């Protein structure tokens, strides 16, 4: 059943790849248009059915017994084509995001709303980055490569660095609020964080450099205390958090798979 899809997504010559990309974009737009114009009563059962069948495929492949000679079952060969379909759905969601951006910011520009020039800057930057990025990847024009390097390395990376440097102030503020000593737990948290940060800098290591590297007192060196906190105390807490996240993720996955989830993007609870 998946063989035609597997052949379609097999390696293709670079000269025809842009046509496949354009076809995928047009197909995504068509599918989104069809889903938007479907009646609500038909759209929700269709989405629920496709979601259930997709989850059922992976669940069946995982739990169905395998042949010991080939180390696979009758669905294993179709995992790669199915993952390609997942990539196709990801491309469709990307197309939906681009259409949403064009709709929202295009409306801001057309109506000259407050800050409409920011919308112009966003759309121009998005179109320029995509255009010169594709020209750099699939074209042989050195000028396009230079322009893309200026846009990506000269502007985007520096703007990202600026944004994260501003976030650092919020991190410091949150750390100050978290480390205020108001209880025994806050005191333990502050002392532990102080020891870990002290073990990360040369000054902290120099404070206990006079202690022997081996023997009983070696465990009192700052770098060893830091390593013990990270590998023993912190690792246990991370395992507990990861276990809780796994159970929660499994519960949410089952609710979405069985179309039981309710919220802003699902059918409201009756």
pLDDT of residue 109: 92
Residue 35 lies in a domain: yes
Q: How many residues does the chain have?
A: 270
Same domain, 130 and 188: no
Same domain, 36 and 79: yes
**194 pLDDT higher than 90:** no
Asked if 222 and 199 count as a contact pair (C-beta separation under 8 A), the reply is yes
Residue 263 lies in a domain: no
Domain of 125 in residue numbering reads as: 121-176
126-149, pLDDT tens digit by residue? 888 888 888 877 776 777 788 888
Same domain, 246 and 163: no
Most confident of the following: 20-29, 135-144, 189-198: 189-198
Residue 267 lies in a domain: no
Same domain, 136 and 233: no
pLDDT of residue 94: 83
Same domain, 137 and 201: no
> 3-state secondary structure string, the chain?
CCHHHHHHCCCCCCCCHHHHHHHHHHHHHHHHHHHHHCCHHHHHHHHHHHHHHHHHHHHHHHHCCCECCCCECCCHHHHHHHHHHHHHHHHHHHHHHHHHHHHHHHHHHHCCCCCHHHHHHHHHHHHHHHHHHHHHHHCCCHHHHHHHHHHHHHHHHHHHHHHHHHHHHHHHHHHHHHCCCCCHHHHHHHHHHHHHHHCCCHHHHHHCCCCCCCCHHHHHCHHHHHHHHHHHHHHHHHHHHHHHHHHHHHHHHHHHHCCCCCCCCCCCCC
229, HSE (Cβ side, Cα atoms, 13 Å): 19
**Residue 267 pLDDT class (50, 70, 90 cuts):** low
pLDDT of residue 91: 77
- Predicted TM-score (pTM) of the model is 0.56
Same domain, 164 and 183: no
Q: Which whole number is the average pLDDT over 99-104? A: 89
Most confident of the following: 14-23, 69-78, 182-191: 69-78
Of 67, 95, 113, the domain-final residue: 113
Q: Which whole number is the average pLDDT over 90-108? A: 86
Residue 265 lies in a domain: no
Same domain, 101 and 15: yes
Same domain, 17 and 109: yes
Return the minimum-mean-pLDDT range out of 122-131, 172-181, 221-230, 258-267. 258-267
**60 pLDDT higher than 60:** yes
**59 pLDDT higher than 60:** yes
Q: How many domains does the chain have?
A: 3
pLDDT of residue 242: 94
Of 176, 208, 223, the domain-final residue: 176
**Residue 39 pLDDT class (50, 70, 90 cuts):** confident
pLDDT of residue 270: 41
**179 pLDDT higher than 80:** no
Same domain, 243 and 207: yes
Same domain, 156 and 210: no
End-to-end CA distance of the chain: 39
Residue 26 lies in a domain: yes
Using alpha carbons only, how large is the chain's radius of gyration in Å? 27
Instruction: Share the mean pLDDT of the chain.
Output: 81
Is the CA virtual torsion 72, 78, 80, 83 positive or negative? Answer: negative
240-259, pLDDT tens digit by residue? 999 999 999 999 988 888 88
Same domain, 101 and 12: yes
Of 113, 131, 151, the domain-final residue: 113
Same domain, 186 and 172: no
């Amino acid at each position: 059943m998946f063989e035609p899809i597997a052949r379609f997504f097999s390696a293709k010559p670079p000269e025809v790849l842009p046509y496949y990309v354009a076809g995928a974009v047009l197909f995504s737009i068509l599918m989104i248009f069809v889903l938007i114009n479907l009646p609500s009563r038909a759209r929700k059962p269709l989405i629920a059915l496709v979601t259930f069948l997709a989850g059922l495929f992976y669940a069946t492949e995982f739990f169905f017994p395998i042949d010991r000679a080939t180390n696979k079952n009758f669905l294993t060969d179709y995992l790669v084509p199915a993952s390609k379909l997942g990539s196709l759905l990801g491309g469709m969601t990307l197309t939906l995001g681009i259409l949403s951006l064009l709709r929202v910011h295009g409306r801001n520009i057309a109506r000259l709303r407050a800050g409409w020039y920011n919308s112009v800057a966003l759309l121009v930057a998005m179109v320029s980055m995509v255009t010169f990025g594709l020209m750099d990847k699939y074209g042989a024009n050195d000028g396009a490569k230079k322009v893309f390097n200026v846009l990506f390395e000269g502007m985007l990376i520096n703007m990202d660095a600026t944004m994260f440097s501003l976030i650092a102030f919020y991190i410091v503020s949150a750390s100050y609020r978290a480390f205020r000593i108001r209880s025994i737990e806050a005191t333990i948290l502050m002392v532990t964080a102080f020891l870990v940060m002290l073990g990360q800098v040369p000054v902290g290591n120099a404070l206990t450099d006079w202690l022997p590297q081996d023997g009983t007192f070696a465990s009192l060196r700052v770098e060893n205390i830091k390593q013990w906190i990270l590998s023993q105390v912190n690792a246990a807490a991370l395992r507990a958090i990861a276990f809780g996240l796994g159970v929660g993720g499994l519960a949410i996955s089952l609710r979405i798979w069985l179309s039981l989830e309710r919220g802003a993007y699902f059918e409201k609870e009756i």
